[in-house]
A and B are shown apart, each in its own frame.
Chain A
Amino acid sequence: MAAYCRSCSVIMQKVNCLGACHPFKSQSLLLHYIRRGFGTSTICRALNPVQNKNLRAGKQKVSINHDKPLTYEQTQPPNMIGVSKSWNSWNSGSLNGEREKNAAQIVFEDIFIRKFMYGTWHNLFANEVIIKRRYNQIIIAGLIEQRNHNTIYFLIGYTEELLSFLLKCPVKIEIQTVADKKDMIFRYI
């Protein structure tokens, strides 16, 4: 059975392997991940340098004038997740045993939450929406642009209540602010 890895679009060899969708190329990388802590997302890395070079998914295209602003998040390709940047969804959905039960449900909910956040907090997010699941709690974190205090307090109350009723679990918002979205620019390409 062949399937595509959703992050790196390489055909996966073993679908049901624990934690990683591809066998580890080198021992050192495996050690690296073990040392870094317990990441449960799939590890995105091509099998050989040629394939690695041809990876396109999750990488930003270079613009003609080299004036396309990128955040730090966007500058790091997917294979650097867990190395120089972190995951956007934190959950135990890819653990053995959990995966069959509710991995699909979690992915679906995360997509829904992201769409909800970008729509409701329109034009406010300066970076990605981070979704963390702890016990039965969902914590939505992120960086937003500074607006009128009351607007933000209202949106927090509204989002917490509505999402709690939709997802049937306590939802919390942990927001940090930046004065201007331009402060988030890390590099122009």
Chain B
Amino acid sequence: MAASINQAVRRSCKSLFLIRSHCCACTRAQHTVVSSAKITDDVVEKIEIPKRKKRDSLSILKALASTVGKDNLAPRYMYLDDPYLIPRNEREKKMFAISKSSGREAARYMINKVPDCFEQDTAVPHIPAFMPPKTSYEHKDPSEDALIERIEMRHVKNAIEVYQHIKQKGSQLTEETKLRFLEILCVFNGKEPPPSQHPEEVFFGSQELQKKPRFREDIKDATKTTWDNPVAETLFEELSNKTPAAYTYLIRGMAMYFEANKAFHLYNELKGKKIPVGKEVYDSMLAISGKYSTSSEECFKLILDLLGDMKEARVKPDVLTFNAALKSLIKFAGFLSDSKLRGAEYIDRILAEMKFLDIEPSLATWAHVLYISCFQKNSDGAKLYRIIDYLKGREMTFQDPDDLTFFSLAMKKVFFSCKDLVVAYKINKLLNTGSNRKFLGDKNQTNDYYNYFFRVLCMFETVDKIMEYYERLVPHTWLPYRNEFQFLLDTIEVEQAYRHLPKIWSDIMVNGYDFINMFTDRVFKMMASTTHPPALQHQFAMMAKHVLKARDDLIERDRRLSIDINAPLLGYMILLFLRDGQFDEAWNYFERYRSQHGKFAGLMLDNVYAEMVDNCIKQQDVQKAFVCVALMGEMSANNQREVVKKIRENFNLTESEREELHLLVGS
């Protein structure tokens, strides 16, 4: 039987092989037949059907996703696919997050107000997330069922109330219910759970939006981070059978809310009784060992003790364990600077232990190492070099919430400690390896990363290379802020690469009026500093025209906002018009300055008058030249004498005009 099947398989393999060879291009048919005949003799015998590859439900999607990269010119998927509605600057992004989430809040308000209208359940299977929140309880009398109901609905305050009623009545609860109650008390610190955030808010960075005033008492309660949980502690004391789970809940709760003394007391008790507990307890103890100790030596000794306890209890540590240990050492990073070697020693010993246990460090591990080792003032960032070389070309997996801090921190260290372009490029390459980009974190961390990367670029790179990166990142991945624009303009000024100014100016304009006011002086001064090729000169003149028009529009529409234009700036703009050959436009603004120079602060540069008179000579317009000379006298410009000399040389002045000029100059 088996033999016949084997034969059949072999036959089908042969025919398959032949079919494949027949499929080859016709021109090579002869050759193929010959070679296939050869192969069939000796190779077919050895054909092995490959083992089936294990694929999960995401394999195909992952394979497809790996074929496409990030499109830097597209906005984030979160934003709407419409040019008008895509938020362009920081303020608009914030407005997007706030407006959309407040729309959701408004809908939630309606749902909570009239839950009856949303009760129908058409979804199969049932989706609890789309059902209105329950407002009434099934069990209204204080009983064990009532307590369980409130625990399941995560109503901590009501659960506490019911528990106290049960205690007053003197009825008994089962151990299992008590444990569940203890768990929820420890997780939420005896307070109501914090309200969940909408996705837009999460991306925008939770801290920023929390700045908006919170009036509701329960939300204020939830943001408290100190351990204040007498109910949980008394409940724990009352437990007749203190199981490992009970210890785990209470210790982890205390550690989560930084109650180090009580947690260590409880841990010692647990150790004395030799109660077996899981890895999570050791992790949370390691995380607060920094809080419990007063010096780095003490802290490290504590860490060693805890790791020793783990070994004794035969609990296998993982990457989170060592991350917690390293994180607790960060507190002493400043003190470690006195004994630089010791800090390095601690790190080395922990990393060696990880290597010994064959645990691959996550990005969070390296972030903590960077925190500790590069904190010193005279740190040369040697660790950073080694870390980046180690990570080169690796695609990381997400293991620890602190993984998200690595990239922004590493780039910050490059800027502050070692100031090395090569490392910055290496980090950027690591970021663009595979799907490592997901470790960039929320908006603030992304901005941090690119801000420092860009500053390093501005320090060492040529303008063209900087602009290559700039055009790839701006505006959808990252928008430069004040300091970054300053750095960029510095670089352009040094290299005199004025051709990039129009692009940068348009990005400055996008950021709003305060940005425009901040940079107009600088940018237009740079433009007016020399003459440029005609095309560029024309672009500059158009920019000047645009700013002046925007200012006039603003004055007409709304007086609260304005673009400040002072006399030197107006002078630069007039120069730009003159150099582009727009004499009428230039004269228009010159005339405006002459009639209302009280409205423009400061004085125009002397060369504005000189160039104006030159252009008047070109136009053969004596009267306008005289107006210039008069204004020069009024504004006490220094080069009046030369200008007058030039007028006398280049115009054929009549007698009356000579007299007029004489009167103007007064000599």
A interface residues with partner B (beta carbon < 8 Å): 105, 136, 146, 149-162, 164-169, 174-177
Contacts and interface: CB of A to CB of B under 8 A. Distances in A.
Closest A-B pairs by Cβ, 9 of them: A157-B103, A161-B107, A153-B99, A158-B103, A157-B100, A168-B123, A154-B103, A162-B107, A157-B104
B106 interface: yes
A158 B85 contact: no
Contacts of A146: 84
A176 B96 CA distance: 16
B298 interface: no
B122 A168 contact: yes
Interface in B117-152: 117-118, 120-123, 127, 130-132
Contacts of A157: 99-104, 106-107, 198, 200
A177 B82 contact: yes
B80 interface: yes
Nearest to A102: B122
Interface string B68-106: 000000000000111011010000100110011111101
A165 B92 CA distance: 28
B108 interface: yes
Contacts of B117: 166
A105 B92 CA distance: 40
Given A149-B87, A153-B95, A165 B103 contact: no
Contacts of B96: 149, 153
Contacts of B106: 154, 157-158
Given A161-B108, A165-B111, A165-B130, A153 B103 contact: yes
B357 interface: no
A154 B82 contact: no
Given A149-B87, A150-B95, A164-B130, A174 B108 contact: no
Nearest to B108: A161
Nearest to A160: B104
A153 B92 CA distance: 11
A86 B501 CA distance: 46
B110 interface: yes
Contact of B103 (A136, A149, A155): A155
B130 A169 contact: yes
Given A158-B107, A175-B82, A168 B100 contact: no
Contacts of A167: 122
- For chain B, the bracket of interface size reads 20 to 34
B129 to A, nearest CB: 9
14 contacts: A136-B123, A146-B84, A149-B92, A153-B96, A153-B99, A154-B106, A156-B100, A157-B107, A161-B104, A162-B111, A165-B111, A166-B117, A169-B123, A177-B84
Contact of B102 (A136, A154, A165): A154
Contacts of A160: 103-104, 107
Contacts of A177: 82, 84-85
Nearest to B100: A157
A13 to B, nearest CB: 33
B464 to A, nearest CB: 35
A109 B118 CA distance: 14
Name the residue in A150, A152, A165, A174 with the highest tally of chain B Cβ atoms < 10 Å from its Cβ. Answer: A165
Given A168-B123, A177-B84, A154 B130 contact: no
Name the residue in A156, A164, A168 with the highest tally of chain B Cβ atoms < 10 Å from its Cβ. Answer: A168
B288 to A, nearest CB: 39
A152 B122 CA distance: 29
A158 B81 contact: no
Contacts of B118: 165-166
A166 to B, nearest CB: 6
Contacts of B200: 157
A144 to B, nearest CB: 9
A156 B198 CA distance: 13
Nearest to B123: A168
Nearest to B86: A149
Contacts of B95: 149-150, 153
Contacts of A155: 103
Nearest to A163: B107
A158 B106 CA distance: 6
Contacts of B100: 153-154, 156-157
Contacts of A154: 99-100, 102-103, 106
B85 A149 contact: yes
A136 B131 CA distance: 16
Given A152-B85, A168-B127, A161 B122 contact: no
Name the residue in A157, A159, A168, A175 with the highest tally of chain B Cβ atoms < 10 Å from its Cβ. Answer: A157
A178 to B, nearest CB: 9
Nearest to A179: B84
Contacts of B103: 153-161
Interface string B428-470: 0000000000000000000000000000000000000000000
Contact of A175 (B80, B92, B132): B80
Contacts of B92: 149
A176 B123 contact: no
A121 to B, nearest CB: 12
A136 B102 CA distance: 25
B119 to A, nearest CB: 10
A159 B103 CA distance: 8
Given A154-B102, A161-B108, 15 more contacts: A149-B99, A150-B99, A152-B85, A153-B96, A153-B103, A154-B103, A157-B99, A157-B104, A157-B198, A158-B103, A168-B120, A174-B80, A175-B82, A177-B82, A177-B85
A174 B82 CA distance: 9
A103 to B, nearest CB: 15
Nearest to A171: B130
A150 B96 CA distance: 7
A104 to B, nearest CB: 13
A165 B107 contact: yes
A176 B132 contact: no
Contacts of A174: 80-81
A157 B104 CA distance: 5
Nearest to B87: A149
Contacts of A176: 81-82
Contacts of A150: 95, 99
Nearest to A153: B99
A166 B131 CA distance: 9
B132 A158 contact: no
A121 B53 CA distance: 51
A160 B81 CA distance: 16
B123 to A, nearest CB: 4
A146 B83 CA distance: 11
A166 B130 CA distance: 8
A92 B333 CA distance: 63
Nearest to B84: A177
Nearest to A169: B123
B121 A168 contact: yes
A155 B80 CA distance: 13
